[in-house]
């Protein structure tokens, strides 16, 4: 085959595939390139770790792993502007090296359908800047204008608001923050739309990461209203339990346990998503949150004596007195372990066994001294099936660096957690596949993937000749 025939062949294939795809998925999709969103967080500090295991640079990321990448984080300043957190976000350390923004955005050269958003805020950032921004109409207007400029100058595809959280006094939010947040979101949405119309560029996406617990949702969000303006809303359905509880509990249960105390009955994915829905957020705009880490506890001598009686250890060891487990060798934060660190712990110590919690539908590690609530391929797959059954729009995963990027630690292939979510989300439920028989027979629903692999195959066969 000559190069020009090959090129026309590729163009024809991509044209046909796009056509069939558009025809088949017309009524169910707003974007033609995928059905369920896979929104992945990139943590800029992870690129600065020293060892090869925990460091994750933009170049380590498979450009087809996610449909969206959120760059975490940028700051919101009281001067009503967005500013980079790290010195090398905007430009590299030397004259010729690229900044992190540019390096992440470079993934789009390989996957033009990928969208990269800038995420502002985060737990540690809390309400700083956001209070000021949402205080008056003039401040909002100024911030929105500055944001559009910053996003466009740096070639981002959108803004992910990660204010944790409006309405949260314990996180420094001021009383005006709930209504101020709505006004901010409304203005951002309007201006993004108008800017796109004026410039002819693709509209900047407007998204957010939000709370999962009912008391936080009710305190911080006018749900029905804000959901109108966001392109999608990502619920951080993890961190339900951790060392701050002073006792063992799971980081991210899919369902409640039977006989759970009233306060905790809603602290699971199934319930949190329903709260958002019941308060008026359209299902298809909602993303479920997954974590590629677990929360780990160090157990006290719970099998010893208490008041002269032997304490019988509960089978699951859930709800027993515990403190934050020793920090992981790589991530170095007490009480938190990356997925690959959990794999390593399991391999190195046979007394660390994995159990499955039937009611919560998640795995946990339990030994005499250690308890970890985490997610693995099985639980991620079940959570993605849940997502599809309930008609939610997608998933967010925190964060790329916490998965086993090369697959060499866990021996489950590269990015096992992210890929488990991807694999399950590419299998479409029947009701999303067009009734038109022609479409479902073609397996055309994963066209972008197929197209990519077809093109790679053609290129390979060309090279081998
Ligand atoms: C989807 O269907 C509508 C009406 O059935 C049609 O007008 C529109 O062009 C279709 N869109 C695509 C992408 O095929
Ligand atoms: C770790 O990284 C260093 C420097 O980037 C490299 O020289 C070394 O071969 C890497 N080691 C492994 C085990 O990948
Ligand atoms: C999910 O939540 C709903 C509403 O609270 C409840 O009726 C249902 O039983 C829950 N599902 C499971 C499997 O716990
Ligand atoms: C369609 O999908 C099925 C099941 O995944 C697979 O066995 C079959 O080879 C696929 N057909 C084509 C044409 O890709």
Query: Phi, psi (5° rounding) for residue 343?
Result: -55, -45
* Tokens found for residue 410: 């866990």
Among 268, 269, 270, 276, which residue has the most ligand 3 atoms within 8 Å of its CB, making it the best to mutate? Answer: 270
Terminus-to-terminus CA distance in the chain, angstroms? 9
Please state the pTM of the whole predicted model.
0.82
Residue 287 CA to ligand 3 centre (angstroms): 18
Residue 341 to residues 296, 326, 370, 412, Cα–Cα distance (Å): 11, 12, 14, 14
Nearest protein CA to atom 9 of ligand 1, as residue: 26
pLDDT of amino acid 463: 47
Residue 376 CA to ligand 4 centre (angstroms): 27
d(CA 339, CA 282): 32
User: Is the backbone of residue 64 left (phi > 0), alpha (psi -120 to 50) or beta?
Assistant: alpha
Domains and CATH numbers, the chain: 37-291+375-426 (3.20.20.80)
Q: Which ligand has the shortest distance to the CA of 408?
A: 2
| Cβ-proximal residues to 117 (8 Å cutoff; 6+ apart), any chain | 68, 69, 70, 71, 156, 157, 158, 159, 160, 205, 207
**Contact 19 CB / ligand 1 (< 6 Å):** no
Residue 257 CA to ligand 3 centre (angstroms): 11
**Contact 26 CB / ligand 1 (< 6 Å):** yes
Catalytic pick among 132, 164, 341, 424: 164
What crossing angle do the helices spanning 269-278 and 377-390 adopt, rounded to 10°?
A: 20
Nearest protein CA to atom 7 of ligand 1, as residue: 26
Return the SS3 of 17: helix
> What value does the CA radius of gyration of the chain take, rounded to a whole number of Å?
23
Q: How many other C-beta atoms are found inside a 10 Å radius of the C-beta of residue 306?
A: 9
Annotated active-site residue 164? The verdict is yes
**89: Cα within 13 Å, side-chain hemisphere:** 22
d(CA 277, CA 392): 10
Q: pLDDT tens digits for the chain (465 residues)?
A: 466 766 766 666 555 555 545 545 544 443 334 689 999 999 999 999 999 999 999 999 999 999 999 999 999 999 999 999 999 999 988 888 999 999 999 999 999 999 999 999 999 999 999 999 999 999 999 999 999 999 999 999 999 999 999 999 999 999 999 999 999 999 999 999 999 999 999 999 999 999 999 999 999 999 999 999 999 999 999 999 999 999 999 999 999 999 888 889 999 999 999 999 999 999 999 999 999 999 999 998 655 555 555 555 567 899 999 999 999 999 999 999 999 999 999 999 999 999 999 999 999 999 999 999 999 999 999 999 999 999 999 999 999 999 999 999 999 999 999 999 999 998 887 766 644 434 444 444 444 344 444 444 444 444 444
């Amino acid at each position: 085959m000559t190069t020009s025939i090959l090129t026309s062949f590729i163009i024809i294939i991509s044209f046909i595939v796009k056509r069939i795809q558009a025809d088949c998925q017309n009524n169910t999709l707003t974007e033609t390139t995928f059905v369920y969103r896979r929104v992945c967080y990139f943590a800029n500090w992870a690129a600065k770790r020293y060892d090869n295991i925990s460091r994750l640079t933009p170049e380590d990321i498979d450009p087809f792993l996610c449909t969206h990448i959120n760059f975490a984080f940028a700051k919101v300043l009281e001067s009503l502007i967005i500013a980079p957190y790290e010195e090398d976000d905007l430009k590299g350390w030397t004259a010729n090296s690229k900044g992190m923004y540019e390096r992440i955005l470079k993934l789009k050269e390989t996957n033009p359908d990928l969208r990269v958003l800038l995420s502002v805020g985060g737990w540690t950032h809390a309400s700083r800047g956001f209070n000021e921004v949402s205080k008056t109409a003039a401040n909002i207007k100024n911030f929105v204008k500055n944001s559009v400029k910053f996003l466009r100058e740096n070639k981002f595809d959108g803004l992910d608001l990660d204010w944790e959280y409006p309405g949260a006094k314990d996180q420094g939010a001021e009383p005006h923050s709930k209504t101020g947040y709505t006004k901010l979101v409304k203005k951002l949405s309007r201006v993004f739309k108008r800017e796109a119309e004026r410039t002819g560029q693709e509209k900047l996406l407007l998204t957010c990461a939000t709370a999962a617990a009912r008391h936080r949702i009710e305190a911080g969000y006018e749900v029905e209203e804000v959901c109108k303006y966001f392109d999608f809303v990502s619920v951080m359905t993890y961190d339900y339990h951790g060392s701050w509880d002073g006792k063992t509990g799971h980081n991210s249960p899919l369902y409640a346990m039977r006989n759970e105390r009233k306060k905790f009955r809603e602290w699971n994915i199934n319930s949190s998503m329903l709260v958002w829905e019941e308060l008026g957020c359209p299902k298809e705009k909602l993303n479920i949150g997954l974590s590629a880490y677990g929360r780990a506890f160090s157990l006290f001598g719970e099998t010893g004596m208490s008041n002269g009686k032997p304490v019988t250890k509960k089978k699951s060891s859930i709800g027993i007195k515990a403190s934050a487990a020793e920090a992981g060798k790589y991530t170095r934060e007490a009480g938190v372990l990356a997925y690959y660190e959990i794999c390593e712990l399991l391999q190195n110590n046979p007394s660390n066994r994995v159990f499955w919690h039937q009611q919560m539908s998640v795995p946990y590690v339990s030994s005499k001294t250690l308890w970890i609530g985490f997610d693995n391929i099985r639980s991620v797959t079940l959570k993605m099936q849940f997502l599809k059954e309930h008609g939610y729009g997608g998933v967010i995963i925190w964060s790329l660096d916490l998965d086993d990027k090369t697959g060499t630690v866990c021996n489950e292939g590269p990015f096992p957690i992210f890929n488990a979510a991807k694999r399950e989300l590419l299998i479409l439920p029947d009701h999303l596949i067009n009734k038109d028989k022609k479409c479902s027979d073609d397996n055309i629903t994963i066209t972008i993937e197929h197209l990519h692999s077809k093109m790679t195959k053609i290129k390979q066969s060309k090279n081998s000749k």
